[in-house]
């Protein structure tokens, strides 16, 4: 079966062609980062308009790259995300489904992230603990099988990617700040500034990152008053990154131990962070798996593979679905009826 995957929930237009036997055949991505950078964050209206402009040419390119005329199935991101951006992807997916007379499957964006490692040859087996870390989410999920998700913890305030982005801004870096902050941190001393590891000693598996960002803000003000902000930027970046990563890894190990899980899958944009990858591998004595770097951030391939897995087990709905809020743990295994 050949699946066309479409991602348009935020500021990346992603399209992929995936074959259930041969794997990924083609993928195309257009990032809107430059369009939004001048505003310091994603502007929803601009995002929708750019998806409109990019989507059809990207679909044409991906189909040509894969050497196919039309897919057997179309999978698109139906939520969570920006409603206008979702409507563009959903409208195009369902329009093409009608024209090609093929089924169309709505996919949950975070389920896409969670299943992205399934694109690799050594795909993770169920059950596993998923750490989903992006600009909008920070979640620990016990994954028993496809659609069988127990939400163990989430953030009480900022998502960890958001904390990276806001801290990067404090340090004078552009948007999105995560990768830029990680680069600046390479030249810094991660023990130079004492920062909190929020929540790690509290019961449960929730996170909180706004206090960490505020702690950096106070340090920035101190450094500015002392006139050595420039000299301390790299140390601040390194200390922040170390504190955020320590927190994510400690919480993940606590959850894995509590649930008796031997495998951790890290996915979402912050999953591209190299320190997070090396620390998780160093501190967890089980198996740790990731999507490849380019499929950590938003992309069409993860939507195609999630659609393929769901469709293989009989779930497809021919309606345009755009659901900005859609809790991951309201999902059910394919074939069962969703409650929320
Ligand atoms: O999954 P994603 O592409 O989009 C969302 O669904 O949010 O994640 C984007 C987030 C941004 O906050 C970005 O700063 C962060 O992932 N990010 C990183 C790195 N690469 C991307 N954060 C830390 N280190 C990185 N290397
Ligand atoms: Zn995402």
pLDDT per residue as tens digits for the range 151-205:
999 999 999 999 999 999 999 998 889 999 999 999 999 999 999 999 999 999 9
| pLDDT value of residue 41 | 85
Helix (H), strand (E), coil (C) string for 113-167? HHHHHHHCCCCCCCCEEEEEECCCCEEEEEEEECCEEEEEEEECCCCHHHHHHHH
Going by pLDDT thresholds of 50, 70 and 90, the confidence category of residue 339 is low
Which of 82, 160, 164 best tests ligand 1's pocket when mutated (most atoms within 8 Å of CB)? 164
Q: What is the mean pLDDT of residues 315-332?
A: 87
Q: How confident is the model at residue 297 (pLDDT cuts 50, 70, 90)?
A: very high
Mean pLDDT of 66-71: 98
Nearest CA to ligand 1 atom 21: 269
CA distance 323 to 39: 25
Contact 161, 134 (CB under 8 A): yes
Rounded Cα distance between 320 and 30, Å, is 23
- The mean per-residue pLDDT over the stretch 309-321 comes to 77
Does the pLDDT value for residue 143 go beyond 70? yes
Whether 340 shows a pLDDT value over 60: the answer reads no
> 92 in the Ramachandran plot: left (φ > 0), alpha (ψ -120 to 50) or beta?
alpha
Pocket test for ligand 1, best of 165, 167, 178 (most atoms within 8 A of CB): 178
The Cα-based distances of 58 to 11, 27, 321 in angstroms read 15, 9, 21
- Which of 9, 116, 134, 138 for a ligand 1 pocket mutation test, highest count of atoms within 8 Å of Cβ? 134
Q: Could you check whether the bond before residue 176 is cis, i.e. omega within 30 degrees of 0? A: yes
Q: How far is the CA of 268 from the centre of ligand 1 (A)?
A: 7
Report residues whose beta carbon is within 6 angstroms of any ligand 1 atom.
10, 134-136, 161, 164-165, 176-179, 182, 268-270, 272-273, 297-298
Are the C-beta atoms of residues 75 and 38 closer than 8 Å to each other? Answer: no
The backbone region for 29, taken as left when phi is positive above 0, alpha when psi lies in -120 to 50, beta otherwise, is beta
Query: Is the pLDDT score of 16 beyond 70?
Result: yes
Reported confidence tier of residue 314, pLDDT bands at 50, 70, 90: low
* Cβ atoms within 10 Å, residue 264: 24
The rounded Å distance from CA 268 to ligand 2 centre is: 6
Ligand in closest contact with the CA of 136 = 1
Q: What's the confidence (pLDDT) of residue 174?
A: 87
92-106, 115-129, 192-206, 308-322: which has the minimum mean pLDDT?
Answer: 308-322
Ligand 1 pocket test, candidate residues 158, 270, 303, most atoms within 8 A of CB: 270
Q: What is the CA radius of gyration of the chain?
A: 20
**Closest-lying ligand 1 atom to the alpha carbon of residue 81:** 6
DSSP class of residue 207 equals B
Which atom of ligand 1 lies at the shortest distance from residue 297's CA?
3
Mean pLDDT of 94-105: 94
Q: Which residues are placed with Cβ below 5 angstroms of ligand 2, an ion?
A: 134, 298
Cα of 178 from ligand 1 centre, angstroms: 6
Taking residues 59-67, what's their average pLDDT?
A: 98
Closest ligand to the CA of 168: 1
Query: 161 with 178: CB under 8 angstroms?
Result: yes
Percentage of residues of the chain with pLDDT beyond 90: 91
Strand partners, 14: 7, 29
DSSP annotation of 289: E
How many Å apart are CA 235 and CA 192, to the nearest integer? Answer: 6
pLDDT of residue 334: 84
Query: How many CB atoms are closer than 10 A to CB 172?
Result: 13
β-sheet bridge partners, residue 13: 30
Q: Chain-wide mean pLDDT for the chain? A: 95
| Surface-to-core class of residue 179, CB atoms within 10 Å of its CB (0-12 exposed, 13-18 middle, 19+ buried) | middle
Interval 217-264: pLDDT, tens: 999 999 999 999 999 999 999 999 999 999 999 999 999 999 999 999
Ligand whose nearest atom lies closest to the CA of 112 = 2
**Which ligand places an atom closest to the C-alpha of 269?**
1
Residue 317: pLDDT over 80 = no
Q: Whose CA is nearest to atom 13 of ligand 1?
A: 178
DSSP H helical segments within the chain, as ranges? 33-37, 44-66, 83-100, 109-115, 160-170, 177-185, 210-226, 229-259, 274-283, 300-312
Q: What pTM was estimated for this model as a whole?
A: 0.94
Which residues lie below 8 Å from residue 64, measured CB to CB, with a gap of 6+?
Answer: none
- Judged by its nearest atom, the ligand closest to the C-alpha of residue 268 is 1
């Amino acid at each position: 079966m050949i699946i066309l995957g479409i991602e348009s929930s935020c500021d990346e237009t992603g399209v992929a062609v995936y074959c259930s036997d041969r794997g990924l055949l083609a993928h195309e991505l257009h990032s809107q980062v430059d369009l939004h950078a001048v505003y310091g964050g994603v502007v929803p209206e601009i995002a929708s308009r750019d998806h409109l402009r990019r989507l059809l040419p990207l679909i044409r390119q991906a189909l040509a790259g894969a050497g196919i005329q039309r897919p057997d199935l179309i999978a698109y991101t139906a939520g969570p995300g920006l409603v206008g951006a979702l409507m563009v992807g959903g409208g195009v997916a369902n329009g093409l489904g009608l024209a090609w007379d093929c089924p169309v499957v709505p996919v949950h964006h975070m389920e896409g992230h969670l299943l992205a490692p399934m694109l690799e040859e050594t795909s993770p087996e169920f059950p596993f603990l998923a750490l989903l870390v992006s600009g909008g989410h920070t979640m620990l999920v016990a994954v028993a099988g496809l659609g069988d998700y127990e939400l163990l913890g989430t953030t009480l305030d900022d998502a960890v990617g958001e904390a990276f982005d806001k801290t990067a801004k404090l340090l004078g870096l552009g948007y999105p700040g995560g990768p830029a902050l990680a680069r600046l941190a390479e030249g810094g001393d991660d023990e130079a500034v004492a920062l909190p590891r929020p929540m790690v000693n509290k019961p449960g598996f929730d996170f909180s990152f706004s206090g960490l960002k505020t702690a950096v803000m106070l340090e920035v003000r101190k450094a500015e008053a002392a006139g050595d902000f420039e000299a301390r930027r790299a140390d601040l970046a390194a200390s922040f990154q170390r504190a955020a990563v320590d927190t994510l890894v400690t919480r993940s190990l606590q959850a894995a131990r509590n649930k008796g899980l031997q495998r951790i899958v890290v996915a979402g944009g912050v999953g591209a962070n190299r320190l997070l990858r090396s620390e998780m591998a160093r501190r967890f004595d089980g198996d740790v798996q990731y999507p490849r770097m380019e499929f950590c951030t938003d992309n069409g391939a993860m939507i195609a593979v999630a659609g393929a897995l769901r469709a293989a087990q009989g779930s497809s709905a021919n309606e345009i679905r755009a659901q900005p809020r859609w809790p991951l743990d309201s999902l059910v295994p394919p074939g069962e009826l969703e409650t929320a």
